[in-house]
Amino acid sequence: MKLSELERYLESTLMPDLKSEVENVLFAKIQTEVTKQFDEILAQDRKKGGHNPYYGNPNGVSNEMEEYMEQTYGISSVKDKTYRKMFGGKSLSDGGFDTFGDFLKCIYDGRADSRLVTKSPGGSNEGVPSEGGFLTPSEYSARIFDVALESEIVRPLATVYPMKSKTLDIPAMELTSHSTALYGNVEMQWVDEGGTVTPTKPAFRAMKLVAKKARIDCTVTNELLADSAPNFEDILGKIFTSTIAFGLDSIFLTGHGGGQPLGILKAPCLITVNAEVDQTATTIVYENIVNMFARLHPACVGNCVWVASITAIPQLMTLYFSVGVGGSAIPALREDSGKFYLLGKRVYFTEKLPVLGQVGDIMLCDFSQYSVGMRQELRIEKSNSPGWSTDESSYRCILRCDGQPLWDRVLTLKDSVTTVSPFITLAART
């Protein structure tokens, strides 16, 4: 039985006061077996005279370990973040509807229809017994999520897990300090021939993703819907798709973690680099960029990107550095085929970050070190009660997901002073 199946059993059968205790026992078992697998991998590599499978991934989860966790516990991230790769395979269904617009029109009409699958009130709706709704056929859910994915910044670059139940436990490395050892306790020891060594083990921690509910509400006049019946998909579909893209990006960047995903700007592993002494308010100088890059974990350089507020564009467009004695002014921001680069790394401009001068107006991120859990179901429902006097209908779209960094703290390097992280931002200049 896989961990996800055991978890569903815990939620549905065991008493709530036993759940936490049993989960702790299960995760202790995971840690023991993962540690054993770690030792086996290292032993194989020593025979090959080979590499450390953890090198290059600052979180310490190698491809070998991920394969082991998938085979043993059914826990695995996905390289392809499309809905079909996460949930569908070849089994996506249109639910018997000709188009997504046909599905929305059926909900609009409010008539009984055997094709509509109800998310019924009661125990099947985890923790929200008063709410129902119609599950969107997987083919149309895929279209909404995948079109939204194309417009997002974080989710396409993040480590994404399909969630088959309300919660998902992910084993992650316990970060400490490189001044003494790597990965908690693992270190190289020098011994004479025939000498003994002290066994060392990596330290693991449990990281739990908990599906949190997000809803999109919109009210449309009945005249507009009636006159545009063939174009329901253009009206409501685009509203839901664009709002999902905007909302997920915003929350993964700035969410506070209370009843919603923990965004990068609120994460304990975020490093905030100080502004320059006497730096003018609401400016970005070249030294800021260099100092931010210097605090990025070296293993994150290959994956990192810049994310900047659109209000920072004038500063970055006019940012120069000098080359040579009395040297030439070279623009720091480079454009190539409509894409922008800073210190050789892609820059994404967005309105989802704080304005120029505030903390978070520019960030350097390795989003592969941010985990996203996505639930499969997407449900849509309609009510005309709130708009009875104005002849309007209200729709809502409900999805469930979670997100948080894979790091639980910053990492201190071997010098016992320098700290690094996959997520760097700049202090306020106001």
pLDDT per position in the chain (430 positions), as tens?
Answer: 565 566 666 566 655 556 556 655 655 565 565 555 545 544 554 444 333 333 344 444 445 556 655 665 566 788 889 888 888 666 788 888 888 878 887 887 777 788 887 654 433 433 333 345 688 888 889 888 998 999 999 999 999 999 988 998 877 666 666 555 555 555 666 766 767 666 655 556 678 899 999 999 888 777 776 776 557 667 788 888 999 999 999 999 999 998 999 999 999 999 999 999 999 999 999 999 999 999 999 888 999 999 999 999 999 999 988 776 666 678 999 999 999 999 999 999 999 999 999 999 999 999 999 999 999 889 888 875 666 667 787 888 999 999 999 888 898 887 888 999 999 999 999 9
Cβ density class 270-296: b for 16+ within 10 Å, e for less: bbbbebeeeeeebebbeebbebbbebb
Q: Which of 163, 165, 86, 168 is nearest to 126 (CA)?
A: 165
Q: Which residue type, as a one-letter code, is found at position 27? A: F
The whole-angstrom separation of Cα 284 and Cα 430 is 11
Binning the chain into helix, strand and coil, the percentages to the nearest 5 are 35, 25, 40
What pLDDT, on the 0 to 100 scale, is given for residue 51?
Answer: 35
Check residue 177 and report its DSSP letter.
B
R_g (Cα) of the chain, nearest Å: 25
Q: What is the DSSP string of 54-79?
A: TTT-TT---HHHHHHHHHHH----BS
The whole-angstrom separation of Cα 294 and Cα 302 is 14
- Unique residue bearing structure tokens 């997100």: 403
What does residue 326 show for φ and ψ, rounded to 5 degrees?
A: 65, 15
Check residue 87 and report its DSSP letter.
I
What pLDDT, on the 0 to 100 scale, is given for residue 352?
Answer: 97
Instruction: Provide the token pair at 181.
Output: 């050892």
Give the distance, in angstroms, between the CA of residue 30 and the centroid of all CA atoms in the same chain: 23
What pLDDT, on the 0 to 100 scale, is given for residue 45?
Answer: 45
What pLDDT, on the 0 to 100 scale, is given for residue 50?
Answer: 38
The whole-angstrom separation of Cα 291 and Cα 426 is 9
Largest CA distance in the chain: 89
The whole-angstrom separation of Cα 392 and Cα 317 is 46
C-alpha distance across the termini of the chain, in Å? 56
Dihedral sign computed on CA atoms, order 24, 129, 110, 229: negative
What pLDDT, on the 0 to 100 scale, is given for residue 272?
Answer: 98
With 0-12 CB in 10 A as exposed, 13-18 as middle and 19+ as buried, what is 237?
buried
The whole-angstrom separation of Cα 30 and Cα 75 is 11
- Unique residue bearing structure tokens 């997000």: 214
Dihedral sign computed on CA atoms, order 272, 275, 281, 284: negative
Check residue 88 and report its DSSP letter.
I
pTM: 0.77
Q: Which residues contact 161 (CB under 8 A, 6 or more apart)?
A: 75, 76, 77, 78, 168, 170, 209, 371, 372, 373, 374
Length of the chain: 430
Check: CB of residue 163 under 8 Å from CB of residue 86: no
